[in-house]
Amino acid sequence: SIPLGYFGGIGAASRNGILFKGSNFIDIISNVTTVVMDKTGTLTKGVFKVQDIVPENISKEDFLSILSSVESHSTHPIAKAISQFHPASKIPDSVEEISGKGIKALVDDKNVLAGNTSLLQSFGIPYPKELDKIVETTVVLAIDNEYKGYITISDEVKDDAELAINNLHKAGVKTMMLSGDKDSLTQSIARKLGIDSAFGGLLPEGKVEKLEALKKNPKEVVAFVGDGINDAPVLALSDVGMAMGGLGSDAAIETADVVIQTDQPSRISTAINIGKATKKVVY
């Protein structure tokens, strides 16, 4: 293998678009046993496109314009896709982001909810049970406590996502995927990519709990890779926190110990392998 000291290791990493925020992380990363990854923006492109539009007891035009008016106040990648798809026509009041679920707002004095089905559940609003089985990201709309339909939006798996998982397994590292997106979709992507275990429908605290459970085993050295604002707590909790720089939020990049400056998840195993090669030389 390549003869690398710590400086050499940091240099080799930087030539591969990988930034180590300290030589201690080269040590830690060389011992990683499990890599835990976020789905959206890490293994998928995080660029959503509106697909099916299924309004219920409301015109398609009203459905889209109310949905877009509310979503235009959110910076979530899902919200961006919706507000680019259809123009917002109304100015909502008291807009509130409900972390991991969606948005609540007042539009023309009506209570509007836009988000996933657990948002509706938390307000006790009934919806067709089939929605949870659709293997696509879905956004539901409710007005004054009444279900008004849904849209599906699609994202694509990154070109090198499967390679990224294969390389980690070749390096003897276990893989886990966590997502706030629906579980049916999360499991389907995990199966396609060959990821060892996956959990969907998680709130930010749920991701923290999964990581804590893993870390209860003292033999586990855990890396977390994410790109979002919601990922800061898990990035901080992991033994080595990695941010994907391409789309990554500033909060994620700041909290991370290692920054992958490209959009490529295959660089995760590159970072681990550089760590291993570096340690061979130092010891």
Q: Which sequence positions are flagged as catalytic?
A: 38
Cα angle value 156/14/264 (rounded, 5°): 5
Under 8 Å between Cβ of 194 and 89: no
CA distance 5 to 282: 6
Out of ligand ADP, Mg ion, none, which partner does residue 173 contact, by CB within 5 to 8 A per kind?
Answer: none
Out of ligand ADP, Mg ion, none, which partner does residue 102 contact, by CB within 5 to 8 A per kind?
Answer: ligand ADP
**CB of 81 or CB of 277, closer to ligand ADP:** 81
Out of Mg ion, ligand ADP, none, which partner does residue 103 contact, by CB within 5 to 8 A per kind?
Answer: ligand ADP
Stretches 9-17, 99-107, 230-238, 274-282: which one binds Mg ion (CB under 5 A)? Answer: 230-238
Q: Is 248 in the site for ligand ADP (CB under 6 A)?
A: no
In the complex, the smallest distance separating the C-beta of residue 144 from ligand ADP, rounded to whole angstroms, is 19
Please give the structure tokens belonging to residue 194.
């060959």
Helical spans, DSSP H, in the chain = 6-15, 24-30, 60-71, 77-85, 117-122, 161-170, 183-193, 204-215, 232-237, 250-255, 267-282
In the complex, the smallest distance separating the C-beta of residue 70 from ligand ADP, rounded to whole angstroms, is 8
Strand bridging mode 137-143 / 222-226: unpaired
Stretches 52-60, 70-78, 88-96, 246-254: which one binds ligand ADP (CB under 6 A)? Answer: 70-78
> Could you write out the DSSP letters of every residue in 96-164?
EEETTTEEEEEETTEEEEEE-HHHHHHTT----GGGGG-SSEEEEEEETTEEEEEEEEE--B-TTHHHH
Please give the structure tokens belonging to residue 127.
């919806």
In the complex, the smallest distance separating the C-beta of residue 37 from ligand ADP, rounded to whole angstroms, is 10
**CB of 227 or CB of 257, closer to Mg ion:** 227
**CB of 28 or CB of 43, closer to ligand ADP:** 43
**Interface residue list for ligand ADP (CB under 6 A):** 38-40, 71, 74, 76, 78-79, 100-103, 114-116, 137, 139, 179-181, 228, 230
